[in-house]
Every structure is written in C-alpha cells, then in structure tokens.
Structure 1
C-alpha cells in the first residue's frame, strides 16, 4: 500500500508539471508564430533574391525583430536593419545570396514582452528564380545590408534559444522533477527495506 501511495504521488507530481509547462510555455509560441516567409522554410530561391520578408501573427508594438543569416560556408551574410510594416510584416535587405543551404535566424518580442529565437533553412540555387518582395516591403526604404551582429549579442534576451520567461519556467519544472524524483526514489528504497523483528526469548 505504501508503494502504491508513492506511485500515485509521483504520477500526480508529473501531471502537475505537465499542466505547468502547457500553461507557461504554449502561449508564448502561439502568439508570435511565423505565418509566412520569403524565402519560405525549405524553399529554393535564386541568388538574386535581395529582400527577406517575415510575417508574424503578432508582435509587440514598437519592437523590431532581429534577423541574421548564415551562408552555406558558415559565414554570416550581411543583413540590413529590419523594418516592420503593418504591425506584423518584417522586411530586411540582404546582400547577394550564395548558392547552397542558408540558415535564417530571427528573434521576436511577443505582446507580453517575452522574446523568442527560432531559425529555418532554405536553398539557394543559381538556376532558380529570384523571389521578389511583396507590396508591403516594396513600399519601404530598406537599410543597406551590414555585417551581422555577434551571436552572443543576439542571445542576450534568450536562454537556450527560448524566451527568458519561458526558459525560466522550463528550468524550474526540470528542477522540481529532479528533486521530486529523488525524494520518491529515497522513500521507495526505505520502504523496501525489511523490518527486523527480535525473536522472543
């Protein structure tokens, strides 16, 4: 019976932690989801593509996403200062792209102030057609591409690639699981020890 109670307590603990993660982490990803992009994730574009466009579900008013690009040889591709149009469309000029797999990384700020960093890849080919900017980006005066900032600067507001708030919740939940699991294991070991009884003389 004691072992059964310990198992039930452990299951209840894990269930509570699961609810905590769902409540604390899911909204942060939902309200700043990437709805569309040019180039799109997994797409193939021509080397003449000169503008990056990212469309988000929601962005915190007054904030501008950070955008960086790494070419197929591992070097950073110069990206201009991003500009936000219509409150959700982010546009940035890039230097001529190199053929191969390019990795685009973006950091956004949600309406609740939480920051998130994500990345996706797309293919660049000499034979492919260059994509053109949408009307939202064409109406903007975009800054010329400049050398990308260091990765350490871009990650100041993130922990393990997650927004600071979300990351702290996840780390706290992991700590509770480790401590709770240790206590359950100790109690289980103690409960399994045979209790010695003195023989009557």
Structure 2
C-alpha cells in the first residue's frame, strides 16, 4: 500500500499591502500632505516607486518615497485640488518579490476662505481702481483715448481706433480733393 506523504516546508510569503492612508476607495474631507502604505514585511528602499496622479492626470507626488521597514511614505505637493486621485506603487520586498497595485481616493476638502486682501481686490471693479472714485456727474466723464487707457481698456485698442479714424479722414480728404479737381476740369472745358 502506497501512502502519500507530504513534506511541508516553510510557506513562501511575499510582501502584501496591509493598509494605506488614505484607504482605497475612501473620500478624504481635509487636505493631506502625504500617502502612507504599510506592507506585511520590510520593503527594499532602492526599488520603491510611488506615483500619485490627480484630476486631469496631474502628478502630485513631491520627491521620492521614504521607506522605513514595512512603511512607505510619499510626500505630496501642497494645496491639492478636489477630485479623484490614483496611487500607483511598485515595491520590492526584502525577499526580492515585486508587488504592484493601484489604489484610489477622492479629495473633497473645503476650499479655504479668501484672505482680507483678496476680498478687497475682488470687490473692486475691474475697470475702476478703489483709489479713483466714480464720476459724480456725466460732465466728468471723458472719452479721450488717454481716458480710455486709464480706465483699463488698453493702449492697443485706443491706438487702433486712432489709426482707423486717421485713415478715414485721409480717405475722405483724398475723395474731396479728387472730386474738386474733376469739377474744376469740367468747368474749364
């Protein structure tokens, strides 16, 4: 009778992701400055890669990932935009086994309140500076090119208008001159 004998050796275990902060599929309600990945065993720092992309595919990782034992931390650029983010990582465990995965989270942080100086400038009219008051009567309103420039319409626009007016005056002058010559010639004959 033959009996099958199983010779058991040590189970070969490879690094596996134990946890992440933020968690896969979560919604984060405040701005974050880093991603943390924790594995089941130590990670080789030479081969750790973490790529974090945000809305529109913008890369938001700041520098290289930091590895301490089984924890990999990736710093992020400041002031992240709200939206969906992807964390793609590839690490190599101490036994040389590569592990790669992609996680996702959504950032939905409140937008910061504008500072008092931003509020003051936002309330000022784009064509009216806070230091220059509105005219109190229609007589104070001027329409010269210099006044249009100071009102924020741009020097280029005034220059183009001036050129068009000058061209029209020149054309009218030439027409009047030629018409006058032809009448004078007709009168002589």
TM superposition score category, shorter chain reference? 0.3 to 0.5
When normalised by structure 1's length, the TM-score is 0.44
When normalised by structure 2's length, the TM-score is 0.47
Larger radius of gyration between Structure 1 and Structure 2: 2
Structure with more contact order per residue of length (Cα contacts < 8 Å, sep ≥ 6): 1
